[in-house]
C-alpha cells in the first residue's frame, strides 16, 4: 500500500538478505541487510519511518517466525519459509512532513499545550508517564491515602519495581525540564540518559517521552534545537541502553521522522488558530485518540513528551 521514502532508497542501494526480528499480529520487524530495523505493518496501522504497509490484517497467521531469512530488493520483501512476498512496485511513497514553527505565536503554543493537557488528563492511559504524574499530584494532597473514600482499596497497589520506575521517570523528566530551561546541553544529555530505556515493554516509557519531546524539537523554527542535538548525541552513543525497536524509533524522532498520526496531530494542533483551549480540544479529540492507540501506554507517553515540548517551547520564547 505504501512505503517510507528512506526505505525505497535503501532497497535500491543495499539489497540482500535480512532476518526476522519479531512477529506480532499487526507488524513484523525485520533486521535489514544494512543493519536497520524495518517494519511490515498491517493495513490498519499508519505510515511510519522504515515501514511498509501491506494489504494484510493479521501477520501472525502468515507462518513467518523470528529468525526466518527475508530477502530485500526493489521488487519486494520475500520469505521463502512461508512462500510469501510483499510486492513493492506501485506502493505509494511516504514522506514525513515538517511542521514549521516559526509562524506559530507564543499564545498559540500555550493554547495547544492547554488543549493537549486537558485531553491527556481525561483520556490518557495510566501506567507510564501519567502514572508518575498522578503520583506527583497525590503527594501534594494532604491526608490522601489509597484507602480514602472514592479509592479502590481492593485494587493491588504498585510493586516496588513499579514505584521505582515511576520515581525514575519523575526525576528524569524534572531534570530534563530544568536543563532545557537553563540551555545546559551537558545536563540535557545526562537527563536524557537517565530516561533512556526506563520502563517496561518494547518501547519503554522514558523513550516514548523523549520521542514526543524530540518530535517538536526537530521541527524547523523550534527553540529546542539544543535539546534536539543533545538527545541525538545520547541516542547515537547508547544504543545498548534500550530495545532495538525503541532505539530505532527514537533515532528517527530526533530527525523529525515519526508515525504519520503523530505528525498529523501536530499539524492539527496549529490549524485552528482562533480556537480557545476548550474548542481546540474538541477539534483534537480524534487525532489524539488515534495517537493514544499506539501500544498500551506508548501513545500517552509520547503525547506527554510532546506536551512537555510545547510548554518548554512557550517558556523559551517568553524568555527571549
172-213: pLDDT as tens digits: 999 999 999 999 999 999 999 999 999 999 999 999 999 999
Give the per-residue pLDDT at 219.
96
Grid look-up 525485520 returns 30
**What's the pLDDT tens digit per position in 240-286?**
999 999 999 999 999 999 999 999 999 999 887 666 888 899 999 99
Under the banding of pLDDT at 50, 70 and 90, the label for residue 127 is confident
At residue 319, does pLDDT exceed 90? no
> Do 74 and 29 contact (CB within 8 A), yes or no?
no
Q: Averaged over 225-233, what is the pLDDT?
A: 95
- Give the β-pairing of 51-53 and 37-41: parallel
Q: How far is CA 27 from CA 3, 53, 89, 177, 297, in A?
A: 14, 9, 20, 34, 18
Give the per-residue pLDDT at 156.
55
At residue 151, does pLDDT exceed 50? no
Q: Averaged over 136-141, what is the pLDDT?
A: 46
Q: Averaged over 143-147, what is the pLDDT?
A: 37
Q: What mean pLDDT, rounded, does the chain reach? A: 90
Under the banding of pLDDT at 50, 70 and 90, the label for residue 144 is very low
**What's the pLDDT tens digit per position in 22-36?**
999 999 999 999 999
Q: How far is CA 297 from CA 26, 29, 86, 202, 278, in A?
A: 17, 20, 30, 11, 24
At residue 124, does pLDDT exceed 80? yes
Give the per-residue pLDDT at 103.
87
Give the per-residue pLDDT at 76.
97
Give the per-residue pLDDT at 154.
44
Give the per-residue pLDDT at 131.
75
Give the per-residue pLDDT at 318.
83
Q: How far apart are CA 288 and CA 311, in angstroms?
A: 18
At residue 141, does pLDDT exceed 50? no
Q: How far apart are CA 109 and CA 114, in angstroms?
A: 9
Amino acid at each position: 500500500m505504501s512505503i517510507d521514502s528512506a526505505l525505497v532508497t535503501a532497497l535500491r542501494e543495499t539489497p540482500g538478505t535480512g532476518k526476522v526480528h519479531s512477529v506480532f499480529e499487526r507488524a513484523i520487524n525485520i533486521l535489514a541487510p544494512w543493519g536497520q530495523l524495518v517494519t511490515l505493518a498491517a493495513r490498519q496501522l499508519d505510515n511510519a519511518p522504515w515501514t511498509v504497509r501491506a494489504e494484510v490484517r493479521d501477520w501472525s497467521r502468515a507462518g513467518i517466525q523470528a529468525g526466518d531469512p527475508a530477502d530485500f530488493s526493489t521488487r519486494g520483501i520475500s520469505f521463502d519459509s512461508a512462500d510469501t512476498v510483499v510486492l513493492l512496485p506501485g506502493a505509494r511513497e511516504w514522506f514525513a512532513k515538517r511542521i514549521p514553527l516559526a509562524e506559530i505565536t507564543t499564545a498559540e503554543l500555550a493554547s495547544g499545550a492547554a488543549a493537549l493537557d486537558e485531553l491527556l488528563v481525561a483520556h490518557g492511559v495510566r501506567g507510564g508517564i501519567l502514572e508518575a504524574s498522578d503520583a506527583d499530584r497525590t503527594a501534594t494532597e494532604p491526608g490522601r491515602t489509597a484507602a480514602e473514600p472514592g479509592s479502590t482499596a481492593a485494587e493491588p497497589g504498585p510493586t516496588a519495581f513499579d514505584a521505582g520506575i515511576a520515581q525514575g521517570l519523575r526525576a528524569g523528566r524534572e531534570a530534563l525540564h530544568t536543563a532545557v530551561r537553563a540551555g545546559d546541553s551537558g545536563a540535557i544529555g545526562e537527563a536524557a540518559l537517565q530516561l533512556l530505556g526506563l520502563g517496561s515493554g518494547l518501547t519503554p516509557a522514558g523513550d516514548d517521552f523523549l520521542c514526543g519531546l524530540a518530535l517538536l524539537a526537530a521541527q524547523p523554527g523550534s527553540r529546542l534545537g539544543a535539546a534536539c542535538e543533545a538527545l541525538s548525541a545520547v541516542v547515537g552513543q547508547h544504543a545498548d541502553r534500550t530495545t532495538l525497536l525503541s532505539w530505532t524509533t527514537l533515532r528517527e524522532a530526533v530527525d523529525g521522522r515519526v508515525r504519520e498520526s503523530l505528525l498529523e496531530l501536530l499539524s492539527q494542533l496549529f490549524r485552528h488558530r482562533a480556537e480557545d483551549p476548550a474548542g481546540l480540544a474538541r477539534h483534537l479529540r480524534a487525532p489524539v485518540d488515534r495517537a493514544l492507540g499506539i501500544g498500551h501506554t506508548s501513545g500517552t507517553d509520547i503525547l506527554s513528551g510532546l506536551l512537555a515540548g510545547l510548554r518548554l517551547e512557550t517558556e523559551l520564547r517568553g524568555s527571549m
